[in-house]
Amino acid sequence: MLLDSDTREGDRNLDSYTDEEGLLKDIQLSELALKISKLTFSWNNYLDPVKEAHRLMNMVRKFSIDISEYEQRMGSKLSEYQRNIIYNSMEDLEKLIPYMKNKIKPYESLQKTDQIY
């Protein structure tokens, strides 16, 4: 939401809603969710989907740590609105992981390992 200077002056709590770092975290979570969705949607089109899944799961762990550090650093400065936005993005991302998990077949992993040796 874009607000002019008059509107901004009228809302004393607006700054707690416009933390750019929080917006960046939300965008990063959304981008990661899209990557996981694309992987699960076109699993068979990836050269090595299991390797891509590992890469994306590493990103999930990294973002989880980043968000925890961000929340600790911001403390009470983090508005309830922004906290809910980030939390909802994390929940959406969490919902995608089972779809990716369902694409993984244990025998695929064993076949690739056998080919290496």
pTM: 0.72
Task: Find out whether 25 and 86 touch, Cβ atoms under 8 Å.
Answer: yes
Residue 110 has pLDDT above 60, yes or no: no
Q: What is the dihedral of CA 43, 87, 73, 11, to 10 degrees?
A: 130
Give the tokens for residue 35. 């990557």
Q: Where are the domains of the chain?
A: 19-116
pLDDT for 9-52, tens place per residue?
444 444 444 578 889 999 999 999 999 999 999 999 999 999 99
